[in-house]
């Protein structure tokens, strides 16, 4: 196997990729001039490279990292654009990791939308859809929505595959804001309720499923 090494002015990131097993090996980074958040992001990235498929890394690595690093007690979701502090770091690493992973992803994977789904917990699996609905809405009461939006504006349209939650957000008309809110609702619910949950925004008018905002 050939060692993949990527270097810039702030760090060196390296790994082996076993094409036969689809697994990463010997994943490491070397600090050259990283700030504290950047170090934390790379440490989580190393762990996730071992845990996740290449496809999942390409599509959701930064979402998973932000989910693990966010301190919900000190960084609540506030009004306006619901983005984490120091967003520039997350944007940088999204671009960086997608660039280095793109060439490793097979054409077959690139051509289809597919997610590595976490297996729902046993407790969540045994809840019927009505109970899942009630549990989600109860949990959302703790979410800090932007001004004039509450959990009452969130309408769960349906639940598929036990963990795919399709929602509509009422009284919010900016589509970018809707996408961002949808993304951070997912992060919050994964952290607070059930890690396997995937939240999708679906407009009631056209019924077009909208892919979650990609970081």
Phi and psi, residue 28, nearest 5°? -150, 160
* 62, 77, 110 - which closes a domain: 110
CA-closest candidate to residue 82, choices 147, 169, 168: 147
Whole-number Å distance between alpha carbons of 53 and 32: 28
Residues 53 and 132 in one domain: no
For the chain, the domain total comes to: 2
**Domain limits for position 193:** 122-210
Residues 157 and 191 in one domain: yes
Whole-number Å distance between alpha carbons of 165 and 202: 10
Least trusted range by pLDDT, from 5-14, 17-26, 68-77, 186-195: 68-77
CA-closest candidate to residue 56, choices 88, 22, 79, 5: 22
Chain segment 33-64, per-residue pLDDT in tens: 999 999 999 999 999 999 988 888 887 888 88
Say if CB 82 and CB 92 are below 8 A apart.
Answer: no
Global pTM?
0.54
Of 202 and 152, the one with more pLDDT: 152
């Amino acid at each position: 196997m050939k060692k993949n090494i990527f270097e810039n002015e702030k760090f060196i990131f390296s790994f082996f990729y076993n094409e036969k097993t689809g697994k990463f090996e010997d994943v490491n980074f070397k600090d050259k001039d990283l700030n504290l958040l950047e170090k934390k992001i790379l440490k989580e990235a190393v762990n996730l490279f071992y845990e996740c498929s290449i496809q999942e890394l390409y599509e959701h690595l930064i979402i998973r990292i932000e989910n693990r690093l966010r301190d919900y007690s000190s960084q609540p979701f506030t009004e306006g654009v619901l983005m984490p502090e120091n967003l520039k770091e997350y944007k940088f690493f999204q671009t960086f990791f997608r660039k280095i992973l793109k060439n490793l992803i097979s054409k077959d994977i690139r051509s289809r939308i597919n997610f590595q789904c976490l297996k729902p917990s046993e407790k969540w699996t045994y809840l019927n859809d009505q109970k899942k609905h009630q549990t989600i809405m109860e949990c959302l009461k703790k979410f800090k929505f932007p001004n004039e939006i509450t959990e009452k504006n969130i309408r769960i349209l349906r639940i598929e595959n036990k963990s795919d939650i399709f929602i509509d957000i009422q009284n919010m008309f900016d589509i970018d804001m809707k996408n961002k809110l949808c993304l951070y609702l997912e992060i919050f619910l994964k952290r607070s309720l059930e890690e396997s949950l995937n939240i999708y925004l679906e407009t009631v008018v056209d019924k077009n499923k909208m892919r979650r905002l990609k970081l």
